[in-house]
Structure 1
């Protein structure tokens, strides 16, 4: 694939994945030229390909923008975007599976079995829909596993998951839009995770913080660490293509604190403004060669067969205003079991000795 096609594919993923919204301006030719180490003409060629696909439009004096959806229609309701978005998601799953060592035949068989199971679950003869527990917060591999097995942990319930970042989760909890928030926000002055932020966002309320686990976070790099990266200072001034986490995520908060502490200027990091919504997305971009490094969980690096440079061990808490509520209490009890510790430890990059511990704030 030529370089301009790689640039076009990267932007296409950002558009179809929702990171670039309809009407939003795409990164400038100058910025992309610097990130991809190429000439402006190469970027402009990528823009022309996206224009022909109907994904972006360029207006003189205003730059290039993602096309607006037709009035009254959502961005992916057009046949082109619906089809392209579905293919993109399928390709991402296929790449992740192949990178993890599965064969194409194994993936095809797994998809077929999943489709059969989904049809059975979706059958109208099934009983009434399960009650819903709402989770909003930071992306976590263990939470994703819990969501897919929640009917076993809390029979009669399903876990509705929205990965919006730690701050987004706590705000949703305060506003009554979530039953559980997932957070790993470090108060650098006190050296304590989450307590300070819970007090600020839910003042005067008694809140339970249930520790899910300690997680190893670090730089995700290509196998063998070909650029010889050792820490955050190595990201600046060397042309390393970095992919960041979104603002409001606990990982981003920690990163910005560390850059300031270590005297690293964010503007010197190529790709600092490029944001990914999950740890898996960060690892996927590195695996696809679209970035040289990103900050993510060790488990995400392992899933994609990538190198990992540990930088910190953080605490991830599940935060609840009513920990005795139906469904929520089932999860809290399960987290204290040896079975739960075995499941989470098997995901890689977790320390589970503190799993299930409850502390109260307020």
Structure 2
């Protein structure tokens, strides 16, 4: 493994063309040579935060195999830079590339707390868990600057509304006070993504995420404060982290996690090209092997959109992985389970305080 890819601190190493655009541009070798001779930077590799103004913030999830009914994403794009991220493709809808643009052009929805409050106060709305980060991480680095996730949690607490969180960032502990208050009424469930116990693997797969040590500590601290935690080993990538299933399950169970979920990597849309370019630069010795094994899990293709099959794959390698996960759950989570979130309180707090009559 080469811990120093071409662009340090980034997952993707290229900007692939946007499929919705007729024209595209590329950085030519003669331009790079000119920059080198002139002592100039061909790519400053900086992150830009761009405010956007959506009319709504809560989305109904129609896919039956995603595991959530409603989600909200306060950021589009994610500076964590996870090379495998399925959300990369959505950046094309905004006119950007799924490659480096996804990590360096972060769209910020500052009005998210107000939009959320407006949504859950509707008379027709019946409480249902809303998951923050169904697409991009609500605790990505931008949250340090904008503080939007915390303000959304304050809304959920005010209206006693159930909320789920998916993150791979230890920054969630900043809001431990709110999480503890939500947990008192069983209004919070946290999903921590941990794909490996190896820091070397984490560093190249997920360059700007919290360290594995920090994430394990986060699982432990949240669990000790009565906040239910599910750990997601997502995705499992053959010949990269597929050998770690049992060890990871054992470790997170010891840290207090109540359950564990998983997916097998799939590289839809532009992600196939981005991942292929990345792995040939960072793991040239095993690139072809990994790509072929991923294909074997998805009917001979890196891409898989088949409902019911896409998440856990098919074929011998997928079966081995899925069987290993079943064994891990039986061994380390036999008497554990995540609680069902409380949806009964919200109606009494529609106006932000308890109704007496």
Give TM-score, length-normalised by structure 1. Answer: 0.30
Q: Which has the higher strand share?
A: 1
Give TM-score, length-normalised by structure 2. Answer: 0.31
